[in-house]
Amino acid sequence: MSESNTLEPEKFLSTRAAAAKLGVALSTVQVWVESGILPAWKTAGGHRRIAVSAVEAMHLRQKAILSTESSPAPDQLQVLIVEDDAVQREVYRLQFNEWRLPVRLLTANDGFKGLMMIGRHNPDLIIIDLVMPEMDGFKMIRSLKSQPAPTQATIIVVTGLTASEIEEHGGLPSGIPVYSKPIPFAVLRPLVEHLSKKLA
């Protein structure tokens, strides 16, 4: 056996091994690979291989993103806001705090971090903006819908785009409600209350 073949198991991981190392579901790693978030190559047999260095880099990004988070209470509804505008994220935070509902609010400023948070926390409600850097809401939603085991979370879109502009970007999968900015809190509050009661 050549030296390169001997070293290969130390240099590359399967998607299953990468998922175990990162502490996420196999389907999450598959989505990251398909989205280009986690670089990988295919063997002649069609199996994906991921460089150990790429997995370690992803692990460092996970730690940076997730290090300040606390664990949710069992009866807390987990809501993920994926929005690149810091002012808008703060508006969400202030309004959710004012409602004093049993909600744990998670935030991400692009689709990449949003997918990472979903893989780690499995939120109950995901509110997604469409225009964001690195990975926009369109790509994020398509990634979520292409998973072998799609998320069971309620997904809604809150955007500044018009219906025609959304269509110009290829549209969205059916069944996802789309609301125009400003943030429709009059719609969100009864939805959050309803989901909280279901969780309880």
2 confidence band (pLDDT: 50, 70, 90): very low
Same domain, 60 and 101: no
Of 15 and 150, the structure prediction assigns the larger pLDDT to 15
Same domain, 53 and 103: no
Per-residue pLDDT tens for 161-177?
Answer: 999 999 999 999 999 99
**How many distinct helices (H) and strands (E) make up the chain?**
9, 8
CATH code (residue 43) = 1.10.1660.10
Same domain, 118 and 145: yes
Of 176 and 28, the structure prediction assigns the larger pLDDT to 176
> 188 with 99: CB under 8 angstroms?
no
Closest CA to 58 of 72, 39, 41: 39
Span 88-117, mean pLDDT? 93
- Residue 4 predicted with pLDDT over 70: no
Same domain, 92 and 59: no
Range of the domain at 76: 70-199
Per-residue pLDDT tens for 45-73?
Answer: 888 889 888 888 887 876 665 555 555 55
- Residue 1 predicted with pLDDT over 50: no
Same domain, 126 and 156: yes
Give CA–CA dist 111/131, Å, rounded.
Answer: 10
Neighbours of 179 (CB within 10 A): 14
CA dihedral 105, 143, 132, 83 (to 10 degrees): -10
Same domain, 92 and 187: yes
Same domain, 122 and 185: yes
Same domain, 91 and 172: yes
Same domain, 173 and 82: yes
Q: What is the pLDDT of residue 187?
A: 95
Given 40, 65, 90, the domain boundary residue is 65
Same domain, 51 and 91: no
Say how many domains are in the chain: 2
> 81 with 108: CB under 8 angstroms?
yes
Same domain, 59 and 76: no
Same domain, 109 and 195: yes
User: pLDDT averaged over the chain?
Assistant: 85
One-letter identity of residue 131: V
Given 65, 80, 107, the domain boundary residue is 65
Of 94 and 119, the structure prediction assigns the larger pLDDT to 94
Percentage of residues of the chain with pLDDT beyond 70: 87
Q: What is the pLDDT of residue 72?
A: 57
- Residue 132 predicted with pLDDT over 90: yes
CATH code (residue 140) = 3.40.50.2300
Given 65, 97, 118, the domain boundary residue is 65
